[in-house]
Structure 1
Amino acid sequence: MYLVGFYSPKAKSGVTELSLSIYNWLKSNTTLLVAFISYGPLEKEEISNELIHEFSKLTLIEQKRKVKQLKKQFDIIIYDASSQLSDGVLKILPIVDRLFVVGDEHRDFAVKLHEIIQFNKIFDKSVKNFITHLQGNKTFIIRENMDQQVIGFNNKKKDTDDIGQMIYTDYVTYYLERNLVENNEKILKKIKLIPKENLYSGLYDLGVDFEKALLFHQYVTLREALGQDYIEVLETLFPFLINYSFAELLDKFQNELHFITKLK
C-alpha cells in the first residue's frame, strides 16, 4: 500500500544497510505487513515473497507490475534503490510515496529530485484525483511541506528508531488520508447523480442537515446563474459542503452574494 524509497546519488553510501535496518525495525515494532525490495543483489538475506533481490534485472513494466502486486499484499514496502545515478533508478523512483536521500550533504539533491517526482505525479490519475477541488485542504491531499516529504540525514544506526517511527506515523496519516479521499469521492459521485432540481432533497437523503442542504442548493444555483457548469460547480463547492459548518457556509455564500451585488 505504502512505498518508501531509500536512495543516494553516490555508490557505497550505506543505503542498503540503513533500509534493511528500517525494514527489520518495522517488522519488530509494528503489526504491519512489511516487504523489502532491493535494486541490487543482497549477500546475506534469503529471497522470499516479502524480500525481493536484484530488482534491476526486471524490465520497467515488470517492476511496476511487481510493486502493484506487493501493494495489494503488504502495508509498507521498503525500496532500497541504492545505486549510482542510473536511468533505471530514476524511472522507478517517481512511484514512491516517501523518499529518503541518504547523507546530509545531499539535501539539495534530495529537494531537486523530490520536485521532479512531484511533477511526474501531477500526471498520475491516482494522485491527480481530487487535488484540483481540494487544493490547500491538507486533510485530503498529500502534504505540501517539503521538509516532511524529503529528508537528508547522516547514516547512523541510532537514527533507525527515529526514521522507523517517522515512517510508521506517515503511513498511518497516509492511510487515513487515502480513505477519506476515497469516501468523499464516493459521496461526490452520488451527489452528481441527484437530479439538479432535487439537489437539496437528495443531499438530505444522503444525511446532510436540511438547512445546509438547502443552502448548498442555493449556492450551486447562484454559481450556475453566473455561467459556471453545473458539475464543475458541484466539484468546486463540495469541499465546503463537507468541511464547513452551516454558519461558515452561510457566511461564505453571503460574502460572495454581496461581492456580486456590488459588481452589478
Structure 2
Amino acid sequence: MYLVGFYSPKAKSGVTELSLSIYNWLKANTNLSVAFISYGSLEKEDCSNELIHEFAKLTLTEQKRKVKAMKKKHDIIIYDASSKLSEGVLKLLPIVDRLFVVGEEHKDFAVKLHQIIQFDKIFDKSVKNFITHLSGNKTFILQEKKEDRVIGFNHSKKETNEIGQMIYTDYLTHYLHEKFIEKNEKILKKIRKLPKEDLFNGLYDMGIDFEIALLFQRYVILRELLGQDYYEALEDLFPLLIHSPFEEILEKFQKELYIISK
C-alpha cells in the first residue's frame, strides 16, 4: 500500500545499493511485508514474487498493473529507479508515495524533478496517479536538513538505520491517513450529488467554511476552463478541500491561474 522511490541523476551513484539496504533493513527490523522493484537488472539477487528486476522491459501499462497488484499484497514496496532519466522513469515516478533523490549535491535537480512531477500530475493524464489518494498528495522529496532545505542523502551504511526509521515512521503516518479514506469517500459522494450550479451553497450547508467553499467552487470552474471534466476536477481537488487550510488552497489556485493567464 506504500511505494518508496529512489533515484539519482548521476550514474553509479549507489541508488541500487541504498535501496536494497533499506529493503533488507525493513525486512529485518519490522514485521511488515516488504517488496522490491528494480527498473534495471540485478546481478546478485534472485527474482521472486517480492523481488522484481528488469522492470524497464515491461510496458508502462504492465508496470502500473504490476505495482497495483503488489500494493494489495505488500505493506511497503521499494522502487529502485536507478540513474536512467528515461520517459518510462518519469512516467512512473508520479505514483510513488515517497521519493528520495540520492546525493545532496543534486538539490537543484531534485527540486526541478519534483516540479515536473507535480505539473504532470495536474495536466498530463498519462502520468496521473492511477491509484487515487483521497487523503492528499503523497509524492514527496525528503529533506536531509530542514533548516537548509537540503534534499537527498549521501549514502553510507550508517545512514541505513536513519532512513529506514524515517520510511517506517512515514509508512505508519500514511497508514493512519488511509484509515480515513472510507469516511472521505462518503463525503465525496455527497459533494458529487450537489447541483453543479449550487456547489458553493451545498458545501457551506455541509459545514465547509464560507471562504473555502467559495474558493473551491472557483477552483473547480478553473479546472473546467483548462479542459478537465467537472467530476474529475471534484475528485482531484477534494484532498485540498478536506485537508488543506485556505491559504494553501489559494496558493495552488493562484499558481494554476497564472499558468493560463500567461
Please report the TM-score for the alignment, with normalisation by the length of structure 1: 0.66
Provide the residue aligned with 1:85 in structure 2. 85
Say if 1:38 and 1:53, in contact at 8 Å, map to a contact too.
yes
Say if 2:93 and 2:117, in contact at 8 Å, map to a contact too.
yes
Q: 2:201 aligns with which of 225, 233, 237?
A: 233
User: Structure 2: which amino acid aligns with 1:180?
Assistant: F
Q: 2:136 aligns with which of 130, 134, 141?
A: 141
Say if 2:99 and 2:140, in contact at 8 Å, map to a contact too.
no
CA distance in 2, matches of 1:56, 1:81: 9
Q: Which moved more, 1:45-54 or 1:85-94?
A: 85-94
Q: Percent identity?
A: 67
CA distance in 1, matches of 2:37, 2:191: 42
CA distance in 2, matches of 1:59, 1:144: 22
Distance 1:192 1:154, change over 3 A: closer
Distance 1:111 1:47, change over 3 A: same
Say if 1:122 and 1:128, in contact at 8 Å, map to a contact too.
no
Instruction: Give, in angstroms, the shift of residue 10 of structure 1.
Output: 1.4
Equivalent position SS for 1:153 = coil
Say if 2:97 and 2:139, in contact at 8 Å, map to a contact too.
no
> RMSD across aligned C-alpha pairs, in angstroms?
3.0
Distance 1:95 1:188, change over 3 A: closer
Equivalent position SS for 1:44 = coil
Structure 1, gaps ≥5 residues long: 131-139, 197-223, 242-264
Instruction: Give, in angstroms, the shift of residue 43 of structure 1.
Output: 1.1
Structure 2, gaps ≥5 residues long: 145-149, 210-262
CA distance in 2, matches of 1:21, 1:37: 13
1:86-165 correspondence runs (5 A): 86-122=86-122, 124=128, 140-142=135-137, 151-165=151-165
Instruction: Give, in angstroms, the shift of residue 95 of structure 1.
Output: 1.2
Provide the residue aligned with 1:73 in structure 2. 73
Say if 1:2 and 1:76, in contact at 8 Å, map to a contact too.
yes
Q: Which moved more, 1:166-175 or 1:33-42?
A: 166-175
Equivalent position SS for 1:105 = helix
Higher radius of gyration, 1 or 2: 1
Provide the residue aligned with 2:63 in structure 1. 63
CA distance in 2, matches of 1:103, 1:192: 44
Deviation sequence 1:202-256 (CA, Å, 0-9, x none): xxxxxxxxxxxxxxxxxxxxxx9xxx94444334664648xxxxxxxxxxxxxxx
User: Structure 1: which amino acid aligns with 2:15?
Assistant: V
Say if 2:4 and 2:99, in contact at 8 Å, map to a contact too.
yes
Deviation sequence 1:83-140 (CA, Å, 0-9, x none): 332222112111111110111111111111111112223354767776xxxxxxxxx4
Instruction: Give, in angstroms, the shift of residue 23 of structure 1.
Output: 0.4
CA distance in 1, matches of 2:141, 2:204: 26
Say if 1:26 and 1:34, in contact at 8 Å, map to a contact too.
yes
Please report the TM-score for the alignment, with normalisation by the length of structure 2: 0.66
Distance 1:85 1:153, change over 3 A: same
Deviation sequence 1:153-192 (CA, Å, 0-9, x none): 1111111111111111111111222322331221453587
Distance 1:129 1:165, change over 3 A: closer
1:8 aligns with 2:8: yes
Distance 1:180 1:122, change over 3 A: farther
User: Structure 2: which amino acid aligns with 1:26?
Assistant: L
Say if 2:2 and 2:171, in contact at 8 Å, map to a contact too.
yes
Equivalent position SS for 2:31 = coil
1:42-53 correspondence runs (5 A): 42-53=42-53
Say if 1:121 and 1:128, in contact at 8 Å, map to a contact too.
no
CA distance in 2, matches of 1:28, 1:129: 29
CA distance in 1, matches of 2:33, 2:200: 40
1:182 aligns with 2:182: yes
